[in-house]
């Protein structure tokens, strides 16, 4: 690759990193508004989360518990940006040709682990409990998610997200995975897993503010909390995009001129819809206990996912 | 001991216009539910009065919060915790005190185990009068606090740093024992 | 030269019986570097340009009319590459670990010499001979623990493994009338099948494959840490070396397949491996003893290698060998770090430790990096190995194995964090603990190097295993220096690393833009409660994964371990019965002799 090509690529990646952050913060604000409307409240302005982050980053004083605590800040933002850039977004491949879905799964663990390290380093017992819950949640929701992922992979005979998106966009909406009956089941299971990934109610067990004082975040304030909010915003975009890439053809509907713009808008609409869905679920359910969440994912969701996997397997073998 | 480690002296003037604007529009509160006032918080947060429309959100820990709500009378024992929590908050930080109990002791004016003037122990930015203040009053207090921040008058945290010794002196007088830590920074 | 290396190892082993601890560890450390020179020299054989020391490739030793054929093969070279470097570093570590020389060094050197011998064996006799020396010297090292369960279980399983291997080798010899391993390919039919099967079973004891893993938790948790690091990092690979040798290099897969064309035996191996990975991971999550946790984690991580061998495609085998290589290093680091923690604090229970990260930062860094490798975080080479295995499972559409493998990968995060939080983070319980001794730190950091090198250049790893693979007729997969490509996808480690560093920039700007103040551990939010009122503990590590306990454990607890405990008991009773024969009366012994003679005569007459 020549210098120009690299420069364009870097500019594109930076642009998408910025877009991802802004979209995430915007969505979080809109989500708060929607929850407020469900509660019959007015709610904050939709740009509230930008203000919150700006305020946190402009705090005069910050407290750290040592260099391991700082890893939370460093790894959470960088890890989640890295994950975002390895996803195809609205038909733009970004770096997704250099890795695949497994890589994305493991990249998602980098910010989580950094966050967990920082939380643990504070020494607060609430943080320890919170991280434990977060990890148990991870073990819970990953099982159905992994099974659906494998179903998709063996159907399309690839593990590359870019290829999965390409194969689903051949005939526009008609070739999206979700139009096939087995993948409808899978998408249901994966959407529930997404709810856990986003840590929305009923699966906001790790951060339960009233039980364990917001869990891992208990000692985070100022720039640390601000960076975690950024992380959460980008994670929201990355995780919904992962779902869109897997089941909704990455939002790719158009080819040719201006396809880029159309696909971008469709992608934005799709992740917005997914987010609204999860917000509405969140607004109407109370919190599970951790064992209940584990049972929910490993019993019901895993069985649904397994049915879809077996179904797909039979289709593929034939 | 050795718990209270304060923050470096910080000048209000060092603060940019934008930072004031954003910090005004996003006040995160820690409601330290001490006295009767706690019961007034749920209506303020929920659909009737909805404080979130002003960007005010409840937070779980002092590290994350900007505003400390002292919702009523404080016993000597609770005061110790309040001070601990207040010192764990990150500047700029504000205190809103509820009801007459925090102003002059209210109906507990002659009690042996409550403190009468909260102002003596931690700096209060806004008082709400009444016994008990109505939710409108609470929202009004927040609006007032925003105005004060805008005008550069909500400087309780600065005062606390400036007169740290005096505050500690007062606190020591109620507790009757040493609570001060190694506080070179103040 | 080769015979000199062997002789020196043996002589050093004998010398270390008689000298003090320091001298013994220095002798052992330096002598055990010698085989590494041989490794470097032999690399010339396989297409790598290195220095030549003039060490011969083949050697025959004739003792009393029996010839032992020794020599380097591409496969054994690759395995030697991952096993042999551990040894000098473990000796470096043990320089400060042991208080006195009480028999650790001689047996360790014997184990090392015999490991080297196993890797060089070209005929069955020397293979079995060295295998036995290795088993017995490692048994004597286990015996140092003075723990009944560990000793008995290791003894029983070693003997079982040795018998299974001997049985297999004897059948092969009986069919071929040749001791050379290279002649095995000629046999077929039922005998070939039984021989290969029993060899695999025999080897899978050493490589702690479930359900033959039951000895490992006891042995790993009771023996000396430097030895356990070698046992888990190095010796367990010998089992997989044997499996690879007989399955692929000597075409055992074909032998199995020819006998029963309709049964996919390798699929069975992969299923066993994935169950091993999954169940052991679940059990590891529940352990509170640091060493037991690491033991179960070893079982789980080694299960991946079996999966790779079971799937048996070039992709899978590459992944399995990569995983074996990584495991040798990261698990050694983890056991050594655990040893360093225990050396300073004297505690093994995770819930009794805590807050050591700021006291022992270098040990923490080493353990953290090893945990990254174990959990396959893409900033270490651990990821590439797992990735290859996942790809292989998807490529073959193994829908049972793939989810188990992946969920075991997620489970690895859980037990990793239990170590990180319980031991190194959380409440600062040991304010006076010092950093581990320098030699320990040095050993751990050198062991980390391969994990760093092969995440930057995963392609080099594939180059290193290429001779071994091509010698077994397995083509190596497409790769460049930085990227590995399969038919399904591509993994470019350089892209990941560069983007990670670039993404660090905004994080770093935020980090630097605002000043922060480091506060003490006591200044924690505990609902306003002052720290000194909290008695006795704020460490949340006790019963860490309690919510999972009721949900998961009942299904796994009464597993294989339970039955093996029964077997120990049974063998104990049996041995007690047999011991009664030795009554101590001469008349009784005379009667035994007479009975024996009569039996022999009867047998002769009957013949
Ligand atoms: S002012 Fe009145 S309502 Fe408030 S705490 Fe005092 S007594 Fe209770």
Residue C175 has pLDDT above 80, yes or no: no
Number of separate domains in chain C:
2
Q: How long is chain A?
A: 318
Do the Cβ atoms of C36 and C77 come closer than 8 Å? no
Q: What is the extent of the structural domain holding C381?
A: 272-557
**φ, ψ dihedrals at B128, nearest 5°:** -115, 125
Beta-carbon count within 10 A of B107 CB: 12
Helix, strand, coil distribution of chain B in percent, nearest 5? 45, 10, 40
Would residue C468 count as lying in a domain?
Answer: yes
Interface subset of C 527-546, CB within 8 angstroms of B: 527-532
**φ, ψ dihedrals at B30, nearest 5°:** -115, 110
- What is the band of C532 on the pLDDT scale with cuts at 50, 70, 90? low
Q: In whole angstroms, give the CA distance from residue C114 to residue C123.
A: 14
Beta partners for C483? Answer: C492
pTM of the model: 0.87
Interface subset of A 62-121, CB within 8 angstroms of B: 62-63
Please list, residue by residue across A181-207, b when 16 or more beta carbons sit within 10 angstroms of its beta carbon and e when fewer do: ebbebbbbbbbbbbbbbbbbbbbbbbb
Sorted by where each begins, the domain ranges of chain B are 15-176
Mutate to test the interface with B, among C514, C519, C522, C525 (most CBs of B within 10 A): C525
Mutate to test the pocket of ligand 1, among B100, B124, B137 (most ligand atoms within 8 A of CB): B100
Would residue C3 count as lying in a domain?
Answer: no
pLDDT in the model for residue B71: 85
Q: Are residues C405 and C339 in the same domain?
A: yes
Q: In whole angstroms, give the CA distance from residue A189 to residue A182.
A: 11
Q: Are residues C584 and C490 in the same domain?
A: no
Higher-pLDDT residue of C555, A167: A167
B91 touches chain C (CB under 8 A): no
Q: Which residue of C has its CA nearest to B62?
A: C525
Distance B71 CA to ligand 1 centre (A): 8
What tokens were used for C85?
């470097």
Do the Cβ atoms of B79 and B121 come closer than 8 Å? yes
pLDDT in tens, B156-166: 887 887 787 78
Find where tokens 């508004």 sit: A33
Mutate to test the pocket of ligand 1, among B101, B114, B141 (most ligand atoms within 8 A of CB): B101
Distance C528 CA to ligand 1 centre (A): 22
Give the closest of B15, B53, B63 to A221, CB-based. B63
Q: In whole angstroms, give the CA distance from residue A76 to residue A112.
A: 7
pLDDT in the model for residue A132: 87
Do the Cβ atoms of C413 and A135 come closer than 8 Å? yes
Vertex C72 angle, CA C66 and C77, to 5°: 140
Would residue C486 count as lying in a domain?
Answer: yes
Do the Cβ atoms of A234 and A268 come closer than 8 Å? no
- List the residue whose alpha carbon is closest to atom 8 of ligand 1: B36
pLDDT in the model for residue B21: 80
Beta-carbon count within 10 A of C555 CB: 10
C522 touches chain B (CB under 8 A): yes
Q: Are residues C448 and C589 in the same domain?
A: no
Classify burial at C282, counting beta carbons within 10 Å of its beta carbon; exposed 0-12, middle 13-18, buried 19 or more: buried
What tokens were used for B177?
């024992």
A240 touches chain C (CB under 8 A): no
Q: In whole angstroms, give the CA distance from residue A202 to residue C111.
A: 55
Strands (E), chain B: 28-32, 57-58, 67-70, 94-98, 126-128
Q: In whole angstroms, give the CA distance from residue A111 to residue A96.
A: 19
Atom of ligand 1 nearest to the CA of B131: 2
Q: Which residue of C has its CA nearest to A148?
A: C403
Residue C185 has pLDDT above 70, yes or no: no
Which parts of C43-85 fold into alpha helices (H)? 74-83
Enumerate residues 6+ apart whose C-beta is below 8 A from A48. A29, A32, B25, B26, B55
Q: Are residues C373 and C432 in the same domain?
A: yes
Distance from CA of B81 to the nearest CA of C (A): 5
Q: Which residue of C has its CA nearest to A118?
A: C425
CA distances to C396, C474, C552 from C488, rounded to whole Å, are: 11, 19, 34
Q: What torsion, rounded to 10 degrees, do the Cα atoms C27, C32, C38, C39 define? A: -150
What tokens were used for C268?
């069975």
Q: In whole angstroms, give the CA distance from residue A71 to residue C108.
A: 40
Q: Quick one: DSSP state of residue C586?
A: H
Q: Report the run of H or E that residue A292 belongs to, with start and end.
A: helix A290-295
Would residue C63 count as lying in a domain?
Answer: no
- Give the residue among A95, A91, A103 at the shortest CA–CA distance from A9: A95
Give the closest of C517, C522, C528 to B85, CB-based. C528
CATH fold of B15-176, please?
Answer: Rossmann fold (3.40.50)
Q: What torsion, rounded to 10 degrees, do the Cα atoms B81, B83, B86, B91 define? A: -160
Residue B77 has pLDDT above 60, yes or no: yes
Residues with CB under 6 A from ligand 1: B 35-37, 72-73, 98-101, 106-107, 131-132
Distance from CA of A183 to the nearest CA of C (A): 16
Do the Cβ atoms of C500 and A87 come closer than 8 Å? no
pLDDT in the model for residue A212: 77
**φ, ψ dihedrals at C99, nearest 5°:** -85, -35
C557 touches chain B (CB under 8 A): no
Find where tokens 């093996």 sit: C564
Cross-chain residue pair A64–C390, CB shorter than 8 Å: no
Beta-carbon count within 10 A of C533 CB: 8
Complex ipTM:
0.90
DSSP C199-230: HHHHHHHHTT-TTTTTHHHHHHHHS-HHHHHH
Instruction: Give chains near B: 3+ CB pairs under 8 A.
Output: A, C
Q: Report the run of H or E that residue C22 belongs to, with start and end.
A: helix C21-31
Distance B74 CA to ligand 1 centre (A): 10
Give the closest of C520, C522, C528 to B81, CB-based. C528
Q: Are residues C360 and C441 in the same domain?
A: yes
Q: Are residues C497 and C578 in the same domain?
A: no
Q: What is the extent of the structural domain holding A261?
A: 3-317
Beta-carbon count within 10 A of C596 CB: 10
Q: Quick one: DSSP state of residue C71?
A: E
pLDDT in the model for residue C530: 67
Residue B7 has pLDDT above 50, yes or no: no
Give the mean pLDDT of C454-458.
86
- Give the residue among B39, B60, B167 at the shortest CA–CA distance from B115: B167
Distance A211 CA to ligand 1 centre (A): 27
Show the 3-state SS of A299-316.
HHHHHHHHHHHHHHHHHH
Distance B135 CA to ligand 1 centre (A): 14
What tokens were used for A73?
């800040």
C565 touches chain B (CB under 8 A): no
Q: What torsion, rounded to 10 degrees, do the Cα atoms A30, A33, A34, A37 define? A: -160
CA distances to A112, A150, B30, B69 from A146, rounded to whole Å, are: 18, 6, 40, 46
Distance B106 CA to ligand 1 centre (A): 7
Q: How long is chain C?
A: 607
Would residue C184 count as lying in a domain?
Answer: no
Give the closest of A39, A43, A59 to B90, CB-based. A59
Q: Are residues C565 and C549 in the same domain?
A: no
Higher-pLDDT residue of C525, C416: C416
Q: Are residues C582 and C502 in the same domain?
A: no
Distance C461 CA to ligand 1 centre (A): 73
Mutate to test the interface with C, among B31, B71, B81 (most CBs of C within 10 A): B81
Q: What is the pLDDT along chain A (318 residues), one digit of tens a residue?
A: 688 888 888 888 888 888 888 899 999 889 888 888 888 888 888 888 888 888 888 887 788 888 888 888 888 888 898 888 888 888 777 777 788 888 888 888 888 888 888 888 887 888 888 888 888 888 889 889 999 988 888 888 888 888 888 888 887 777 788 888 888 888 888 888 888 888 887 888 888 777 777 778 888 888 888 888 889 899 889 889 888 888 888 777 777 778 888 888 888 888 899 999 998 988 888 888 888 888 888 888 888 888 998 888 888 887
Q: In whole angstroms, give the CA distance from residue C20 to residue C16.
A: 8
pLDDT in tens, C273-309: 888 888 888 888 888 888 888 888 988 888 898 888 8
Q: In whole angstroms, give the CA distance from residue C281 to residue C414.
A: 9
Find where tokens 């102003």 sit: B103
Highest mean pLDDT among A205-214, C415-424, C478-487, C561-570: C415-424
- What is the band of B15 on the pLDDT scale with cuts at 50, 70, 90? low
Enumerate residues 6+ apart whose C-beta is below 8 A from C244. C75, C79, C309, C317, C321, C472
Residues of B with Cβ-Cβ distance to A55 under 8 angstroms = 19, 22-23, 25-26, 66
Cross-chain residue pair A99–C489, CB shorter than 8 Å: yes
pLDDT in tens, C210-238: 777 778 888 888 888 888 888 888 888 88
The mean pLDDT value of chain C amounts to: 82
Number of separate domains in chain A:
1
pLDDT in the model for residue A1: 64
Would residue C107 count as lying in a domain?
Answer: no
């Amino acid at each position: 690759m020549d210098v120009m090509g690299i420069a364009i690529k870097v500019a594109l990646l930076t642009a998408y990193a910025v877009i991802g952050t802004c979209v995430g913060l915007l969505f979080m604000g809109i989500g708060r508004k929607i929850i407020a409307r469900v509660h019959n409240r007015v709610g904050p302005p939709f740009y509230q989360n930008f203000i919150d982050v700006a305020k946190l980053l402009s705090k005069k004083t910050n407290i750290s518990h040592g260099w391991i605590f700082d890893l939370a800040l460093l790894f959470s933002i960088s890890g989640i940006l890295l994950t975002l850039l390895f996803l195809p977004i609205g038909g733009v491949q970004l770096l997704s040709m250099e890795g695949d879905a497994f890589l994305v799964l493991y990249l998602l663990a980098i910010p989580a682990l950094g966050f967990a390290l920082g939380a643990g380093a504070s020494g607060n017992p609430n943080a320890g409990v919170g991280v434990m819950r977060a990890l148990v949640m991870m073990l819970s929701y990953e099982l159905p998610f992994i099974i659906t992922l494998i179903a998709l992979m063996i159907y399309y005979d690839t593990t590359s997200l870019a290829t999965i998106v390409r194969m689903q966009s051949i005939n526009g909406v008609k070739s999206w995975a979700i139009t096939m009956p087995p993948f409808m089941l899978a998408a249901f299971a994966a959407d529930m897993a997404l709810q856990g990934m986003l840590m929305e109610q009923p699966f906001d067990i790790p951060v339960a503010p009233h039980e364990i004082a917001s869990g891992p975040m208990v000692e985070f304030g100022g720039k640390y909390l601000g960076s975690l909010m950024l992380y959460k915003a980008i994670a929201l975009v990355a995780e919904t995009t992962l779902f869109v890439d897997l089941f909704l053809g990455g939002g790719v509907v158009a080819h040719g001129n201006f396809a880029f713009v159309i696909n971008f808008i469709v992608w934005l609409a799709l992740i917005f819809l997914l987010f609204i869905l999860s917000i509405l679920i969140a607004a109407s359910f109370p919190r599970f206990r951790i064992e209940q969440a584990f049972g929910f994912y490993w019993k019901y969701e895993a069985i649904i996912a397994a049915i879809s996997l077996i179904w797909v397997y039979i289709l593929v073998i034939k | 001991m050795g718990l209270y480690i304060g923050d470096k002296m910080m000048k209000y003037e060092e603060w940019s216009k934008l930072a004031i604007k954003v910090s005004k529009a996003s006040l995160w509160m820690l409601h330290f539910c001490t006295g009767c006032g706690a019961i007034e918080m749920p209506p303020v947060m929920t659909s009737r009065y909805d404080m979130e429309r002003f960007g005010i959100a409840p937070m779980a820990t002092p590290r994350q919060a900007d505003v400390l709500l002292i919702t009523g009378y404080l016993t000597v024992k609770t005061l110790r915790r309040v001070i601990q929590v207040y010192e764990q908050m990150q500047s700029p930080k504000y205190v809103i005190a509820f009801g007459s109990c925090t102003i002059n002791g209210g109906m507990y004016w002659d009690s042996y185990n409550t403190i009468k003037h909260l102002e003596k122990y931690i700096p209060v930015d806004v008082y709400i009068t009444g016994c008990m203040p109505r939710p409108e009053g609470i929202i009004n207090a927040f609006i007032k606090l925003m105005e004060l921040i805008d005008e550069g008058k909500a400087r309780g945290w600065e005062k606390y740093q400036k007169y740290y010794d005096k505050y500690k002196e007062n606190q020591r007088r109620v507790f009757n024992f040493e609570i001060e830590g190694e506080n070179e920074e103040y | 030269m080769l015979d000199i290396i062997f002789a020196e190892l043996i002589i050093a082993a004998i010398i270390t019986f008689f000298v003090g601890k320091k001298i013994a560890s220095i002798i052992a450390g330096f002598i055990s570097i010698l085989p590494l020179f041989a490794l470097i020299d032999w690399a010339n054989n396989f297409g790598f340009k290195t220095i030549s020391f003039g060490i011969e490739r083949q050697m025959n030793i004739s003792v009393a009319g029996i010839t032992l054929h020794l020599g380097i093969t591409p496969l054994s070279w690759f395995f030697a590459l991952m096993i042999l470097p551990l040894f000098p570093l473990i000796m470096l570590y043990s320089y400060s670990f042991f208080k006195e020389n009480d028999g650790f060094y001689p047996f360790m050197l014997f184990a090392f010499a015999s490991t080297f011998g196993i890797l060089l064996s070209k005929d069955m006799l020397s293979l079995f001979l060295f295998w036995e020396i290795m088993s017995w010297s490692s048994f004597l090292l286990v015996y140092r623990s003075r723990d009944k369960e560990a000793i008995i279980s290791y003894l029983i399983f070693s003997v079982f493994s040795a018998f299974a291997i001997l049985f297999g080798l004897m059948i092969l010899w009986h069919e071929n009338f040749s001791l050379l391993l290279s002649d095995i390919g000629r046999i077929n039919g039922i005998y070939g099948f039984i021989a290969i099967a029993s060899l695999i079973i025999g080897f899978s004891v050493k490589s702690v494959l479930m359900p033959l893993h039951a000895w490992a938790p006891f042995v790993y948790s009771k023996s000396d840490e430097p030895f356990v690091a070698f046992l888990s990092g190095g010796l367990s690979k010998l089992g997989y070396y044997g499996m690879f040798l007989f399955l692929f290099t000597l075409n055992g897969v074909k032998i199995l397949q020819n006998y029963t064309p309709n049964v996919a035996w390798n699929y069975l191996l992969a299923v066993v491996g994935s169950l091993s990975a999954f169940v052991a991971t679940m059990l590891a999550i529940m352990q509170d003893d640091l060493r037991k946790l690491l033991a179960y984690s070893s079982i789980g991580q080694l299960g991946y290698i079996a999966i790779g061998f079971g799937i048996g495609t070039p992709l899978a085998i590459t992944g399995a060998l990569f995983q074996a290589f990584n495991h040798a290093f990261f698990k050694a680091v983890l056991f050594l770090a655990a040893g360093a923690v225990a050396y300073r604090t004297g505690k093994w229970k995770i819930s009794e430790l805590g807050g050591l990260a700021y006291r022992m930062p270098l040990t923490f860094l080493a353990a953290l990096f090893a945990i990254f490798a174990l959990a396959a975080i893409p900033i270490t080479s651990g990821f590439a190995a797992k990735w290859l295995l996942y790809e292989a499972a998807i490529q073959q559409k193994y829908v049972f194995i793939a989810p188990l493998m992946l969920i075991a990968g997620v489970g690895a995060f859980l037990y990793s964090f239990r170590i990180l939080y319980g031991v190194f983070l959380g409440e600062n319980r040991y304010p006076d603990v010092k950093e581990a001794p320098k030699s320990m730190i040095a050993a751990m950091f050198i062991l980390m190097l391969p994990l760093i090198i092969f995440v930057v250049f995963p392609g080099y790893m594939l180059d290193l295993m290429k001779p071994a693979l091509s010698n077994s007729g397995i083509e190596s997969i497409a790769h460049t220096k930085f990227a590995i490509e399969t038919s399904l996808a591509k993994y470019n480690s350089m892209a990941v690393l560069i983007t990670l560093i670039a993404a660090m920039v905004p994080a770093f700007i935020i980090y630097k833009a605002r000043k922060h103040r480091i506060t003490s551990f006591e200044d924690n939010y505990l609902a306003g409660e002052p720290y000194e009122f909290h008695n006795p503990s704020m460490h949340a590590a006790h019963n860490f994964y309690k919510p999972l306990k009721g949900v998961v454990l009942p299904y796994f607890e009464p597993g294989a371990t339970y039955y093996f405990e029964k077997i120990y008991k049974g063998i104990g009773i049996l041995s007690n019965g047999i011991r009664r024969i030795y009554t101590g009366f001469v008349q009784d012994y005379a009667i035994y002799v007479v009975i024996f003679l009569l039996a022999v005569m009867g047998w002769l007459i009957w013949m």
